[in-house]
Amino acid sequence: MPDRHFRSGDVSLRYRDEGEGPAIVFIHGWTLDLEMWDPQAARLSGSMRVLRHDRRGFGQSTGTPDPGADAGDLVALLDHVQVERAVVVGMSQGARAALAVALRFPQRVTSLVLDGPPDCLGADELESDGELSLAPFRALVRKSGMDVFRHAWRGHPLMRLYADDPAPRALLDRMLARYSGADLAGPESAGAAPIDARALARLTLPVLIVNGSCDTPARIAAGDRLMQLLPRAQRAWVPGAGHLANLDDPVVYDDVLRAFLRRQSRVAA
């Protein structure tokens, strides 16, 4: 599938648009890009229109990473491809972006999937989560460079792959090689604003919260917290998978998505 590009404000964002049918949009996590969703695009595009893009500053998109701009960029993508409403799937930092889209533009979202979400009630996870902080990585990049950072980050529990298949490992390495580190080497940004728990309680669309069963304790706890706050939340697990569940076991991951979407279709009917 050839890459395409669209403009959102002053940046150019890479995207792919595959298949036909109801639209589903995938949002990648930190240091990754749209190619993390290759397994899902291959399996789901036979029955759905699969959209995915490189968030600004990641992959082949221009600009500097800016979590506060992610929701607007995703709506700009939907406008560009003339999709009125879509299922929105966000992984890790992308889950925060998915929630922001649903809260700011609820008319554009049919249902929501939050995969390995962070603690969305605090400041941006990369600044405040005890499990992951940008400060040591900034210092590492400035002292030793991006190659040393990539090696250190590749060994972090959030980047661990549990599957023996070498293909997802190679894919992960290629994505990390493309990550520019602009948000580490440049000035510190304000990050994404905390999400108000009261706003989550008013979010009435269907939500699926997914974790790999071997995801980190902090991410599992964050998913549990969202289950308490979101009135129509459902929970699903990918057995034996870590934080990168869609790469650890794409077959089960895709089956989990399909089952959730089938349930919503029956309710809508």
pLDDT higher than threshold 80 for residue 265: no
pLDDT category of residue 190 using cuts at 50, 70 and 90 = low
Average model confidence (pLDDT) across the chain: 92
What integer pLDDT is reported at residue 264 of this predicted model?
A: 83
What integer pLDDT is reported at residue 2 of this predicted model?
A: 82
- What is the sign, positive or negative, of the torsion defined by CA atoms of 30, 75, 95, 70? positive
Domain count, the chain: 1
What integer pLDDT is reported at residue 132 of this predicted model?
A: 73
Q: What is the pLDDT of residues 93-150, one digit of tens each?
A: 999 999 999 999 999 999 999 999 998 876 444 444 457 778 889 999 999 999 999 9
Q: What is the pLDDT of residues 246-261, one digit of tens each?
A: 999 999 999 999 999 9
Q: What is the pLDDT of residues 32-67, one digit of tens each?
A: 999 999 999 999 999 999 999 999 999 999 999 999
Where in the sequence is the domain holding 82, given as residue range(s)? 4-268
The domain that holds 73 is classified in CATH as 3.40.50.1820
